[in-house]
Chains A and B, each alone.
Chain A
Amino acid sequence: MKSNQTNSPMDGAQALVKCLEAQGVEYIFGLSGGSAIPIFDALVTTGTKIELILVRHEQGAAHMADGYARATGKPGVVLVTSGPGATNTITGIMTAHMDSVPMVILTGQTITPMIGKDAFQEADVFGLTMPVVKHSYLLKNPNDIPRVVKEAFHIAGTGRPGPVLMDLPKDVSSGKFTGELDPPMNLPGYHPVREVDAAAVSRIADALSRSVRPVILAGHGAMISGAEQEVLQLAETLNAPVTTTLLGKGVIPETHPLSLGMLGMHGTAYANKAVVECDLIMSIGSRFDDRIIGQADRFCRDAVRIHIDVDVAEIDKMIKVHHSCVGDAKEVLKALLPQVGQLNTEDWLRRIDGYRNRYPLRYGKQGGLKAQQILDELYKMTQGKIVVTTDVGQHQMWAAQFLKTIRPNDFISSGGAGTMGFGFPAAIGAQFGRPKDQVWTIVGDGGFQMTLCELATACVSKLPIKILVLNNHYLGMVRQWQELFYDDRKSGVDLVGNPDFARLADSYPGAKGLTLKRTADIRKILQRAMDYNDGPCVINAECEKTENVFPMIPAGRPLEDMLIDRPRKKLEKPTGST
């Protein structure tokens, strides 16, 4: 794009579309409305190749952009109208913010003279979203659009990524554009990545060299920085085991002998035991979330704690560490690798293998249809060569446990926010971003009903997404807590009134519904879903209603208190959050 003055008459919205093109935007996920009409009009008048994906609810648009971003590493783009259109995206923005996902949200706004006067569909979106965005703009002048778009994509995608919102009053988007299309950015306060501190790296190398029971903890940050090769190389050089967070699944192939799988509340027993017994833990791009540390002041109390993170505010936030290095994970590891050698970890790995053999992930095969078994079979049939998105709850944890992830960006889940309704629209975004990959979304009957209106969106684009509804007719994770900690008093968890999800799917043009009731049919039904590629396919799997997720560390308890199986005695109510 040339940076000279434009001669042809253009309005702000047309300039906006030109700038989005310059950023390489392929898709916009959105829903129209009054104050955004000029922008939707510009998508037609500019003849742009950017494809508008019309959603059925704005929350879906935000999750689609999120799924697209996580599956591709490129920022997702959302376009909605003012007021309720914009507020409907807030759950999705918060979800992206918690999980450091690059996203640019364009919201229509009432005309500038009406702002603050309670105009029709006016909401203070700039103010409402402030705590859940990385940055935001309220535009006042059409000529500012190109600079702001450039800054928004730069901020969203660099350092610790996150959502950036542009609130666009209708008179700005429809106003005459007389500015430059490629102006410089003006961000004097934004320095997203620090230079790697060589002295800090040396201290970390020194600490590593003394360890005989190390554990590497790889998180989403390692994936965002594209450090999977370096993490693997570090693990193999040190001969050190690697556990990952939920969002770190795929940083190291979970089939690798040094992989311990996921740690934390519902992580593998051997990962948690390794973390309890290690003499050194090194986090690469994890924020020591409360789901993985349990009781903060007892987490790795006697171990050397090391933290590598791009965000300085994460250092010492949850866990006080002995050594830290602020910077991009890949760059830090590149500096670290030449300074480390093999550690004497033979005994340590043997001990961990003992735990691996004694406490494997398992499930009872008696009784009704087991969600775990469906996922286990799905993994065996696909060998991890699929993109998986999940909702939040029991099915999410079973998916994390039984669907081993081999490649980065293949396991997409709402981690920090724990947003129900995320999985299915995120799968739509992921399928747009990765058209050649087979995309599965694993959802529960509760979460799926929050965003299943997007079946229409998937049908329109004939997306061959496989939607596996692990249906236990409960909000299962809360029911599990009530069973274990609240004397099995069920309150607000019984989902009577569920539709027949298979028949519901059949009512959408191009969608297919399948029903799975018997264990013996698992492979047959999964195969049938894989063979259907003319649109989305919903499998309604009628699972055992009261199955629980184990292992489990009650919230706020130290990792030592992990429950491998259902306890016989009554448990105290957890002290930790949710």
Chain B
Amino acid sequence: MNIEQNTHTLSVYVSNRPGVLARIAQVFSRRGYNIESLVVSPAKDGDFSRMTIGLSGDPDGLEQIIRQVGKLVDVLSCVDHTDDSAVVRELAMVKVRVDAEHRIGVLQIVEHFACKTVDLTDTSMIIMSTGASEKVDAFIRMIKSFEVVELVRTGKVLMARGDQPT
């Protein structure tokens, strides 16, 4: 089967109630979609939460999924922001095993990608990278020439630009 695989970013605004995440996850898993990233956090009003879901899959099926998610009682809105003008950011932390001899090389990459070192020992370093996902991807590709021990990414968060609601 040759399905066009597109990357999508959905923003879902939900009532902050038990089970809401499971219900949304079920809509995806039942239809064979894999959630690639997921960020859930309280919204401006604490009774509600904001979810940002990154995923890829057949765009036809995705329209159906967006409607099914929108239908859930606890969901106030579900919007696909893929083609919108929106600010998308992500944060990654990378732990690199590095001795004093190779530290300079690592720091050159850190400087180039405007990352920060947030932890430093004589054998390791934790680097924090923030920005658009592509930039984070590029940083990770480069830093992998050193010995990466651990990698953590937050997943995308997104906000619509200007007066447009997210």
By a beta-carbon cutoff of 8 Å, the part of chain A in contact with chain B is 126-127, 130-131, 134-136, 138, 155, 187-190, 311-313, 315-317
Q: Chain A nearest CB: distance from B111 CB in Å?
A: 46
Q: Are B64 and A317 in contact (CB under 8 A)?
A: yes
Q: Are B71 and A313 in contact (CB under 8 A)?
A: yes
Q: Are A311 and B71 in contact (CB under 8 A)?
A: yes
B19 touches which of A130, A187, A311, A312 (Cβ 8 Å): A130
23 A-B pairs in the complex with CB atoms less than 8 angstroms apart: A126-B19, A127-B22, A130-B23, A134-B73, A135-B72, A135-B74, A136-B19, A138-B18, A138-B19, A155-B73, A187-B73, A188-B15, A188-B48, A188-B76, A189-B15, A189-B75, A312-B67, A312-B70, A312-B71, A313-B64, A313-B68, A315-B67, A317-B64
Report the bound CA distance from A138 to B20 in whole Å: 12
Q: What are the 9 tightest A-B residue pairs by CB atom distance, in nearest-first order?
A: A313-B67, A189-B76, A135-B73, A190-B73, A189-B75, A313-B68, A189-B74, A312-B67, A313-B71
Q: Chain B nearest CB: distance from A68 CB in Å?
A: 23
User: With a CB–CB cut-off of 8 A, which chain A residues contact B70?
Assistant: 312-313
Interface string of B24-43 (1 = CB under 8 A from A): 00100010000000000000
Q: Are B67 and A189 in contact (CB under 8 A)?
A: no
Q: Chain A nearest CB: distance from B43 CB in Å?
A: 12
Q: Are B63 and A189 in contact (CB under 8 A)?
A: no
Report the bound CA distance from A127 to B67 in whole Å: 22
Residue of A nearest to B76 (CB): A189
User: With a CB–CB cut-off of 8 A, which chain B residues contact A189?
Assistant: 14-15, 72-76
User: With a CB–CB cut-off of 8 A, which chain A residues contact B68?
Assistant: 313
Q: Chain A nearest CB: distance from B7 CB in Å?
A: 22
Which parts of B51-82 form the interface with A (CB within 8 Å)? 63-64, 67-68, 70-76
User: With a CB–CB cut-off of 8 A, which chain A residues contact B18?
Assistant: 138
User: With a CB–CB cut-off of 8 A, which chain A residues contact B26?
Assistant: 130-131
A138-B19, A313-B71, A316-B63 are known; give 15 further A-B pairs, CB within 8 A: A126-B19, A127-B22, A130-B19, A130-B23, A134-B73, A135-B72, A136-B19, A187-B73, A188-B76, A189-B14, A311-B71, A312-B71, A313-B67, A313-B70, A317-B64
Q: Chain A nearest CB: distance from B56 CB in Å?
A: 21
Q: Chain A nearest CB: distance from B63 CB in Å?
A: 7
Report the bound CA distance from A65 to B131 in whole Å: 55
Count of B interface residues, CB-CB < 8 Å: 20
User: With a CB–CB cut-off of 8 A, which chain A residues contact B14?
Assistant: 189
Residue of B nearest to A138 (CB): B18
Q: Chain B nearest CB: distance from A134 CB in Å?
A: 7
User: With a CB–CB cut-off of 8 A, which chain B residues contact A188?
Assistant: 15, 48, 76
Interface string of B94-134 (1 = CB under 8 A from A): 00000000000000000000000000000000000000000
Report the bound CA distance from A190 to B70 in whole Å: 9
User: With a CB–CB cut-off of 8 A, which chain A residues contact B19?
Assistant: 126, 130, 136, 138
Residue of A nearest to B20 (CB): A189
Report the bound CA distance from A126 to B64 in whole Å: 25
Residue of B nearest to A315 (CB): B67
Q: Chain B nearest CB: distance from A567 CB in Å?
A: 32
Report the bound CA distance from A187 to B17 in whole Å: 11
Q: Chain B nearest CB: distance from A525 CB in Å?
A: 47
Report the bound CA distance from A316 to B75 in whole Å: 21
Of listed B22, B67, B68, B75, residue having the most chain A CB within 10 A: B67
Report the bound CA distance from A571 to B30 in whole Å: 33
Residue of B nearest to A314 (CB): B67
Of listed B14, B19, B72, B75, residue having the most chain A CB within 10 A: B19
Report the bound CA distance from A127 to B19 in whole Å: 8
Q: Are B22 and A130 in contact (CB under 8 A)?
A: yes
Q: Chain B nearest CB: distance from A4 CB in Å?
A: 26
User: With a CB–CB cut-off of 8 A, which chain A residues contact B75?
Assistant: 189
Report the bound CA distance from A76 to B24 in whole Å: 27
User: With a CB–CB cut-off of 8 A, which chain A residues contact B64?
Assistant: 313, 316-317
Residue of A nearest to B67 (CB): A313
Residue of A nearest to B13 (CB): A189
Of listed B48, B73, B75, residue having the most chain A CB within 10 A: B73
Q: Chain B nearest CB: distance from A25 CB in Å?
A: 21
Residue of B nearest to A136 (CB): B19
User: With a CB–CB cut-off of 8 A, which chain B residues contact A130?
Assistant: 19, 22-23, 26
Report the bound CA distance from A135 to B26 in whole Å: 13
Report the bound CA distance from A190 to B22 in whole Å: 18
User: With a CB–CB cut-off of 8 A, which chain B residues contact A131?
Assistant: 26, 30
Q: Chain B nearest CB: distance from A147 CB in Å?
A: 13
Report the bound CA distance from A187 to B67 in whole Å: 18
Report the bound CA distance from A70 to B48 in whole Å: 36
Report the bound CA distance from A135 to B74 in whole Å: 9
Residue of A nearest to B30 (CB): A131
Report the bound CA distance from A257 to B25 in whole Å: 49
Q: Chain B nearest CB: distance from A140 CB in Å?
A: 9
Report the bound CA distance from A134 to B71 in whole Å: 9
User: With a CB–CB cut-off of 8 A, which chain A residues contact B71?
Assistant: 311-313
User: With a CB–CB cut-off of 8 A, which chain B residues contact A187?
Assistant: 73
Of listed A130, A136, A313, residue having the most chain B CB within 10 A: A313
User: With a CB–CB cut-off of 8 A, which chain B residues contact A315?
Assistant: 67
Report the bound CA distance from A136 to B22 in whole Å: 12
